[in-house]
Each structure stands twice: as C-alpha cells, then as structure tokens.
C-alpha cells in the first residue's frame, strides 16, 4: 500500500519584497517574516550598526549596501536590482497583518487584470492605534508590477504612482513609526530640513506669518476636520506635532531664503 504524499507547498509569489533599512532591528524580523511568501527578499541598507544585517541574513534576504541619498533614489536603485514582475515593499517598521498577507498572496496569484494593489495602513502612536486624524485607512500602493509604476514625490517623501488598473485589498499594514516622542521630534527635524531645502530650490516664499498660517492650518485640519479629537490625547499630540512640522518647515525655508539674500 502506497503511503499518501504530503500536499505540495504553495509556490512563492512572483514578487520581490523590497525593504530599505538603517538600524531597523526593532521590527525587522516581523517585517521580513510577513513577506516570506515572496520569491525573493531584497534589503537595501544604508549603514546599519545594530543587528539589522544579522536579522536580514537570518531571514534569507539578499543584502545590498548603498549610501543614503533619500527614499526616491534609494528605491530607484533597489528596483534596478529586481528581476521579478511584481514588487511588494514595506518600511522596516511595518509588517503585514495575517488578513492582508492572505489577501495579497491571493491577489498576486490571480491579479484579475490589476497591475497594483492599495493596502490600508494602521499606525500606533503614543498609546493606541490611530483611527482618525487623517491617519487611517492611509491607503498606500505597496504591491505593483515593476512595469506599471512611477516613483514620484518630493523629498523627503516618495509616492508610488500606478500607471495601470489597481484595486484595494483587505487587511492592514501594521505600522510602529516612532519608539517615543523624542524619535518623533528627531524625525520632524530631519524631514523639515529636507523639505525646506526642496522648497528653497523651487523658489518658494517664506516668512513668520506664512509659517504660523501653515502650522495653524495643519493643526485645524488634523484635529478638527480629520476628527483627531476622537483619538484622545494621542490625537491632540499628533495635531500639535503637525503644527510643529509645518511651522519649522517654513521657518527653515525662511532661514535659507534670508541667507541666499545676504550673499
């Protein structure tokens, strides 16, 4: 009597998972584990000094090293290394929920004419997952055909723009963007420096009144129009930081414009 054969393991999705890293040890193991259905894991690192590279090796990822020039050039470099038709990308502080992982696997197995998939993202801040404040569902194009996407945006943010049919999947990308408030403020400082430099390059006007106006507008939009008050104290803190982001961006732009005017 012949023993029954075990069912064959499902084939890997024809996709490369792309993750940009730099000192991302805190969540990276879970990030890569949630992408293990992809045919290939590709990590592009920009100088990690913690356990990031060890975690990536243990997950079986291919690792490339490239100096950081911003997200847009980093992704363009990464995409040049991809030889699968599909790409799935996550940040090092994100992972796929079981529901999204299942729906993404099914979508890649049978795209039904779609060339990309929007994924909702659910982010943790202070003491809860944010459900309002303009933070949810935060639909992001994170799975797409390599030949049907354009990388757009201005520093420091990138945007994957689909050039073909897309649809939205069920489930969430789970996101832990900041370890604490200090890290949030540090990121605001870095991002506003890059954003101000880009605005200066574009010749945008500045001034104290403009900085205050943009800051107040961001606070009102996030806390009132986007109902951040429903997110409790986390929503209020987020709205205050939104004010700080806009205010510092335009004040740093003012510094740059004044320095240029004094030359």
Instruction: Identify which has the larger pLDDT, 224 or 8.
Output: 224
Confidence band for 2, pLDDT divided at 50, 70 and 90 = low
Cβ atoms < 10 Å from Cβ of 139: 14
Place of tokens 């982010």: 123
What is the average pLDDT value for the chain, to the nearest integer?
93
The number of angstroms, rounded, from the C-alpha of 201 to the middle of its chain's C-alpha atoms is: 24
Phi, psi of 173, deg, nearest 5: -75, 125
- Predicted confidence at residue 261, as pLDDT, reads 82
- Predicted confidence at residue 9, as pLDDT, reads 46
Domain spans, the chain = 13-175, 181-262
Query: What is the rounded distance in angstroms from the CA atom of residue 108 to the CA atom of residue 96?
Result: 15
118 CB burial (10 A radius; 0-12, 13-18, 19+): buried
Of 85, 8, 95, the residue nearest 59 (C-alpha): 95
- Predicted confidence at residue 263, as pLDDT, reads 44
Instruction: Give the tens place of pLDDT for each residue, 36-54.
Output: 999 999 999 999 999 999 9
Are 18 and 88 in contact by the 8 Å Cβ rule? The answer is: yes
Confidence band for 32, pLDDT divided at 50, 70 and 90 = very high
Instruction: Give the tens place of pLDDT for each residue, 122-172.
Output: 999 999 999 999 999 999 999 999 999 999 877 667 789 999 999 999 999
pLDDT surpasses 90 at 197: yes
Is the pTM for the entire model greater than 0.85?
yes
Percent of the chain scored above 70 by pLDDT?
94
Query: What is the rounded distance in angstroms from the CA atom of residue 172 to the CA atom of residue 141?
Result: 12
- What is the Cβ-side half-sphere exposure of residue 183, based on CA atoms within 13 angstroms? 7
- Predicted confidence at residue 244, as pLDDT, reads 97
CATH 3.50.50.60 applies to domain 13-175 = no
Instruction: Give the tens place of pLDDT for each residue, 80-139.
Output: 999 999 999 999 999 999 999 999 999 999 999 999 999 999 999 999 999 999 999 999
pLDDT surpasses 90 at 4: no
CA distances for 246 relative to 179, 192, 243, angstroms: 22, 8, 5
Query: What is the rounded distance in angstroms from the CA atom of residue 57 to the CA atom of residue 88?
Result: 19
């Amino acid at each position: 009597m012949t023993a029954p054969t075990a069912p064959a393991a499902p084939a890997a999705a024809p996709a490369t998972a792309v993750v940009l890293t730099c000192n991302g040890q805190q969540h990276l193991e879970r990030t890569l584990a949630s992408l293990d259905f992809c045919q290939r894991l590709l990590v592009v690192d920009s100088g990690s000094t913690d356990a990031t590279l060890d975690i990536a090796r243990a997950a079986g990822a291919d690792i490339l090293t490239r100096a950081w020039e911003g997200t847009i050039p980093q992704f363009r470099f990464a995409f040049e290394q991809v030889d699968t038709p599909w790409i799935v990308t996550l940040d090092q502080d994100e992972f796929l929920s079981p529901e999204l992982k299942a729906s993404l696997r099914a979508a890649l197995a049978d795209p039904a004419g779609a060339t990309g998939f929007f994924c909702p993202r659910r982010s943790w801040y202070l003491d809860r997952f944010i459900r309002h404040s303009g933070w949810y569902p935060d639909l992001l194009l994170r799975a797409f055909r390599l030949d049907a996407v354009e990388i757009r945006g201005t520093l420091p943010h990138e945007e994957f723009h689909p050039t073909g049919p897309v649809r939205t999947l069920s489930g969430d990308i789970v996101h832990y963007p900041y370890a604490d408030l200090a890290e949030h403020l540090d990121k605001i400082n870095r991002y506003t420096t890059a954003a101000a430099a880009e605005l200066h390059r574009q010749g945008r006007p500045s001034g104290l009144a403009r900085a205050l106006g943009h800051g107040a507008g961001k606070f009102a939009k996030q806390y009132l129009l986007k109902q951040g008050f429903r997110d409790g104290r986390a929503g209020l803190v987020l709205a205050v930081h939104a004010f700080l982001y806009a205010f510092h961006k335009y004040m740093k732009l003012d510094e740059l414009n004044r320095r240029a005017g004094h030359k």
